[in-house]
């Protein structure tokens, strides 16, 4: 009996590729290994549904045919509508054409970045989603996958977290904020029970252009070297707001973050650190 009980306890770590980045699952406690496997399966299954660049995914079918029935796509579309309204259109899932053209440029498949921004209309009816133009869920999908994988870890006598390319469910220990300048010393060390997400202009660029854009001004490229946000709601929100703040001018980004309940932000702009009023409460001292 003692041996059997011991085998049900322990800790587990899984590292795998998902959403074009490295995901890490860490968990400890009762049936830790089974929970870590379940979290990985959850992440990989959701990726097959939400990857717009996979022709077999639900998002790709939506963009190709104009309609799909999928609970996860519908949830993200509704979230996207919420954030478009709350950010004045800076975060806009209707920019699928722009997103695809920008990614093609960053991958070296085309010679120039997109020059026009064209928004379509997308609607939900329960789990049914219809659109008259391609949608872009990339600003939400990774955070959502982190959230769902982390939920798969939960259970009595067990704790853990999921990290995916700078997006993280509430961590179980200190978290380093990576320097955008390649320094080994972290800019900050977080100690928080909120979800974390990062964005910026240093991960994937070509000729000064990166993955961030503002459709309201048709501005391509992040305006800051690095943006880190912590969000009380979940990682989906952290993911969306990190992208939004990266696209906004400094004063506008800080104002939006200050006014957003349950959100704190840390921006590196021209080498200078800027934080919202409550960010230091999430920093290890």
What are the tens digits of pLDDT across the range 188-207?
999 999 999 998 655 567 76
pLDDT band for position 180 (cuts 50, 70, 90): confident
Q: What does pTM read for this prediction?
A: 0.92
Helices (H), the chain: 2-7, 32-50, 58-65, 71-86, 96-106, 138-153, 235-247, 250-259
What are the tens digits of pLDDT across the range 10-36?
899 999 999 989 999 999 999 999 999
- Give pLDDT, residue 120: 85
What are the tens digits of pLDDT across the range 230-284?
999 999 999 999 999 999 999 999 999 999 999 999 999 999 999 999 999 999 9
What are the tens digits of pLDDT across the range 152-164?
998 898 999 999 9
Q: Among 4, 22, 39, 17, which Cα is nearest to 160's?
A: 39
- Give pLDDT, residue 2: 41
- Give pLDDT, residue 8: 59
Mean pLDDT value across residues 109-136: 91
Mean pLDDT value across residues 92-101: 89
Mean pLDDT value across residues 44-69: 95
Residues in Cβ contact with 10 at an 8 Å cutoff, skipping those fewer than 6 apart? 28, 32, 33
Residues in Cβ contact with 84 at an 8 Å cutoff, skipping those fewer than 6 apart? 91, 92, 93, 94
- Residue 16 has, within 13 A of its CA and on its CB side, a CA count of 18
- Give pLDDT, residue 209: 76
- Give pLDDT, residue 1: 41
Q: Which domains occur in the chain, in start order?
A: 170-285 (3.10.520.10)
pLDDT band for position 208 (cuts 50, 70, 90): confident
Mean pLDDT value across residues 109-131: 91
Residues in Cβ contact with 28 at an 8 Å cutoff, skipping those fewer than 6 apart? 10, 11, 12, 158, 159, 160
Question: How high does pLDDT run on average in the chain?
Answer: 92
Place of tokens 């999921």: 162
pLDDT at 90 over 90: yes
pLDDT at 99 over 90: no
């Amino acid at each position: 009996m003692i041996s059997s009980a011991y085998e049900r306890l322990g800790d587990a770590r899984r590292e795998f590729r998902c959403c074009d980045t490295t995901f890490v699952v860490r968990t400890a406690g009762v049936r830790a290994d089974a929970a870590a496997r379940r979290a990985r399966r959850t992440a990989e299954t959701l990726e097959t549904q939400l990857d717009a660049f996979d022709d077999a995914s639900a998002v790709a079918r939506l963009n190709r045919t104009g309609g799909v029935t999928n609970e996860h796509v519908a949830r993200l579309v509704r979230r996207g509508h919420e954030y478009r309204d709350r950010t004045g259109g800076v975060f806009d899932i209707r920019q699928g054409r722009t997103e695809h053209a920008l990614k093609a440029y960053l991958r070296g498949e085309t010679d120039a970045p997109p020059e026009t921004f064209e928004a379509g209309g997308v609607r939900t009816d329960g789990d049914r989603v219809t659109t008259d133009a391609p949608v872009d869920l990339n600003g939400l999908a990774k955070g959502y996958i982190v959230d769902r994988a982390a939920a798969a870890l939960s259970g009595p006598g067990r704790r853990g977290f999921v990290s995916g390319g700078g997006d993280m469910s509430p961590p179980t220990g200190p978290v380093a904020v990576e320097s955008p300048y390649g320094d080994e010393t972290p800019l900050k060390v977080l100690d928080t029970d909120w979800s974390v997400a990062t964005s910026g202009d240093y991960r994937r660029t070509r000729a000064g252009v990166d993955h961030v854009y503002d459709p309201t001004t048709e501005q391509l490229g992040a305006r800051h070297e690095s943006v880190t946000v912590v969000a009380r709601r979940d990682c989906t929100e952290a993911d969306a707001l990190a992208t939004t703040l990266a696209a906004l001018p400094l004063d506008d980004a800080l104002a939006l973050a200050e006014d957003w309940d349950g959100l704190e932000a840390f921006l590196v702009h021209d080498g200078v650190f800027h934080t919202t009023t409550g960010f230091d409460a999430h920093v290890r001292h």
